[in-house]
A and B are shown apart, each in its own frame.
Chain A
Amino acid sequence: MNVHVTRRIVYLVVALAVIMPMLFLKGKPVTVSEPVSNAFQAIDTLKEGSYILISTDYGPGTMPEVNPMVYAIVRHAFRKNLKVVYLSVIDALGLALGDQVIKNVAQEYGKEYGKDFVNLGFKPGAEAVIVSLGKEIRDIFPEDVRGVPLDSMEITRNIHNLKDFAIVVDFASGYGITAWIRYAQARFGVFLVGCVTAVMGPENYPYLDSGQLKGLVAGLKGAAEYETLLGKPAIATRGMPAQSAVHILIIVLIVIGNILYLLEKRKRK
């Protein structure tokens, strides 16, 4: 069969494997892995009124994978009545994405801007920004994204540096998580939870083992696991049948490809 025709067939089958389960199958709660369970526990054991710092270091490209994690974790934080402070140190677009999710969840839980959550904005310079946050937040973020001084808001009046946060959660689709581990965790000893894309999961396992990450939520599956623990299946759980179908399809395609290769090899002999 012509290579171009084969490629088109593969594309069509992949499209169907994604679309059909999304239309006709309902996701069920999934089995929970240890890294996600640890992430959940790290937030669940925090006292009411504790501060959580969220860094949204991802872009629209990875939005379908990362946004469900933001939804799940922010729901958990607001359910526990934690104070949510968020910013971005890598990608300004990530801030816009995270901002929408956090505002939606805040509305769901009746939370008030400036009292229960605040958006500090985006500042370029990743490592430099993180180290400055470790010393004094006002050095780098004297005001929130709307230009309101931190001292005039109830939520930020008494926070000064990373040590004032019970936990830091980084939503990353690239270098962000490494910067937070190296500079916030290693230098200031913050409790850090990483929420990364599925492909970034394996490279962050060593930090779990060393204790530098308290928990790790990786990919849409990680988000679905978190939703299961929250007892609130949402968008990630609904995406699981499609992900299952595509994973199985890729394995089947590799097997078929190899059978065809062996048959062709035998024919040549």
Chain B
Amino acid sequence: MRKEVPLLITILTALIVILAFFLTPLAQTQQILLRWYAIIGGFAMFVGVWNLLKKHVFQVSRGKNTFYSLVLVLGFFMTFAFGIYSIVKYKDAFYINSPFMFNFNYVLAPLQSTMFSLLAFFMASAAFRAFRIRRLEAALLLFAASIVMLGRVPAGYALWHKLPLIAEWIMKIPSMAVQRGIGIGITLGAVGMSLRIILGIERPYLR
């Protein structure tokens, strides 16, 4: 029963949600299921936060990787406290001058932006050390990429006014054809995987 019941729920839910696209009488049931999905999504976030905290509190108590775990635990409780305080005091956690938004704007956002901006350094370094024109395909890739990179910035227009047009053509014709191929491939894969889950062949949620 421990396997059959979740399988039955999966099959029935999937069938109702899919059939509702074609059969209007099922629309209401589909709506209820989608609402449940959103509620479960909320609880899943709670479970995720709980697991993360549990893991790091455990690590702190064991004295293993203490520094980073401590930062995470303190960061979590600090943000949580700021959020509660902001809601109580300003009736809105997103109030511009609230401590929650101060923490968000001056701690979290700069940290995440910094992590993301490091990509520019890694990309430049990788381009210099690893991009080698060993074959015709690599030469073509470099040529197309250079045109798009130049055509997408004002300097490209200054170099040659037709460069942005050529860059746009590359994006609209050859690049789009490839993107379509990739998209169709991914979607076929997703359909196959979904069918396997609906039919109970693939059961990752039961593990």
Contacts and interface: CB of A to CB of B under 8 A. Distances in A.
Interface string B126-153: 0111011100000000100010011011
Contacts of B71: none
Interface in B8-52: 21, 27, 30-31, 34-35, 37-38, 40-42, 44-45
B113 A258 contact: no
Contacts of B96: 100, 103
B8 to A, nearest CB: 20
Contact of B94 (A64, A96, A201): A96
B2 interface: no
A160 to B, nearest CB: 14
Contact of A123 (B38, B109, B115, B131): B38
A135 interface: yes
B37 A205 contact: no
Interface stretch (A6-14, A42-50, A72-80, A164-172): A6-14
A249 B125 CA distance: 11
B121 A31 contact: no
A212 interface: no
B171 interface: yes
B101 interface: yes
State which size class the interface on A falls in: 35 or more
B195 interface: no
A31 to B, nearest CB: 5
A249 B31 contact: no
A20 interface: no
Given A14-B120, A64-B113, A96-B104, A205 B155 contact: no
B115 A61 contact: yes
Contact of B150 (A64, A131, A145, A247): A247
Given A30-B154, A202-B179, A96 B129 contact: no
Interface in B87-115: 91-92, 94, 96, 101, 104-105, 108-113, 115
Contacts of A7: 125, 129
B202 interface: no
A128 B38 contact: yes
Nearest to A203: B179
A199 to B, nearest CB: 10
Given A6-B129, A31-B157, A60-B113, A205 B38 contact: no
Interface in A129-148: 129, 131-132, 135, 139-140, 145-146
Contacts of A135: 27, 31
A124 to B, nearest CB: 4
A244 B154 contact: yes
Interface in A96-149: 96-97, 99-100, 103, 119, 123-125, 128-129, 131-132, 135, 139-140, 145-146
A246 B149 CA distance: 10
A206 B176 contact: yes
B116 interface: yes
A34 B35 contact: no
28 contacts: A3-B129, A6-B129, A11-B121, A34-B168, A60-B109, A60-B110, A64-B113, A64-B117, A99-B94, A124-B41, A124-B44, A124-B45, A125-B34, A139-B31, A145-B92, A146-B91, A187-B21, A202-B179, A205-B175, A206-B183, A209-B172, A244-B154, A245-B155, A246-B120, A251-B146, A251-B149, A253-B127, A257-B129
Interface of A: 3, 6-7, 10-11, 13-15, 18, 27-28, 30-31, 33-34, 59-64, 93, 95-97, 99-100, 103, 119, 123-125, 128-129, 131-132, 135, 139-140, 145-146, 187, 198, 201-203, 205-206, 209, 219, 221, 240-241, 243-251, 253-254, 256-258, 261
